Amino acid sequence: MANAPDVHICEAGPRDGLQNLDIFIPTEAKRALIDAIVAAGVREIDAGSFVPPKVVPQFADVEIVMAHALTHKDATIGALVPNFKGAERAIAAGVDAIYFVISVSETHNQANVRRTIEEQLEGFRAVRAAIDARPAGNRPHLMGGISTAFGCSMEGRIGEGSVRRLAAAYAEAGADEIGLADTVGYATPPLIKQIVQGVRRDLGPAMSLRLHLHDTLGMGLANAVAGLEAGIRRFDAAVSGLGGCPFAPGARGNIVTEDLVFMLEEMGLSTGIGLDRLMATRAILSAHIPARHLTGHLHEAGIPKA
């Protein structure tokens, strides 16, 4: 922990990785997964969603899982929230970070959170106010997540202008960070650079930006490299390539954390993550999740000896 790693990776497996499964992962396995991720050196975990259990039954135990995750004082423990009510629960749970979501695609936004984009922005402002009303030093980090920022399986192509406007609205509403999410995995490397550079120009160098990538079409790591070249140093990823959005048809898994870590370290960029230990998460997942949901080139090929 002496030096910050060159690239910061947030492990999204416990949230994005599990939300799309029709299998309930036992609470104990969720806790074990989080412990293994922290033991590997990961310093931020998207550990669950504060959504109604009726909508996503997987997170019926989110309070219990979050309480356990928060015993890890050396990691930032975050949660996705779709609305103000979810944020209230997340704040009550004591999370370190809140990931709010708004889709650029009005169609996906309706499917995902059943509100218009404008209504979602109102909700975000209310979350900001609720956080600011808390004592200093006890305010979770607030990320404004932009879903379908690089394409939507329902609306198709997404205009750069719409993404930039939403990012600017988030910034004006007090987001601590902007997350650009390729929810369905339609981004290409040039599109990543175009959108990241556009948002960066609008918001200036001080605003923290992160990329959330899915590997639907095989371009996941290529898009990560494009993000690196555009200056991104914060990425979401999921162990064993788990993931997908229940309300985005066609979306497949997140970029594989193991493969991302290997690539970055091979490129000479430190992540602070131990690959052997990270790959040990596979056994926890395999005990509950069918093999067809588990991907990852390193898991298939093994870590090269050379």
Q: Which residues bind a copy of itself (CB under 8 A)?
A: 151-157, 184-186, 188-190, 215-222, 224-226, 250, 252, 256, 259, 262-263, 266-268, 296-298, 300-302, 304-306
Is residue 96 helix, strand or coil? coil
Q: How far is CA 299 from CA 259, 293, 304, in A?
A: 9, 13, 11
For residue 287, the Cα-to-chain-centroid distance in whole angstroms is: 24
Closest CA to 240 of 37, 70, 76: 37
Q: Would you say 186 and 216 are in contact if contact means Cβ atoms under 8 Å apart?
A: yes
Q: How far apart are CA 65 and CA 279, in angstroms?
A: 21
Active-site hit among 245, 279, 285, 289: 245
Q: How far apart are CA 68 and CA 109, in angstroms?
A: 31
Which ranges of 70-184 does DSSP label H, i.e. alpha helix? 84-93, 106-113, 117-132, 160-172
Q: Find tokens 């310093």 and name the residue.
A: 43
Q: Confirm whether 10 is a catalytic residue.
A: no
Q: What sign for the dihedral angle of Cα 160, 255, 22, 63?
A: negative
CB crowding 133-150: b at 16 or more within 10 Å, else e:
eeeeeebbbbbbbbbbbb
Between β-strands 76-81 and 208-213, what pairing exists: parallel, antiparallel or unpaired? unpaired
Burial (CB count <10 Å: 0-12, 13-18, 19+), residue 201: exposed
Catalytic residue positions, numbered:
245
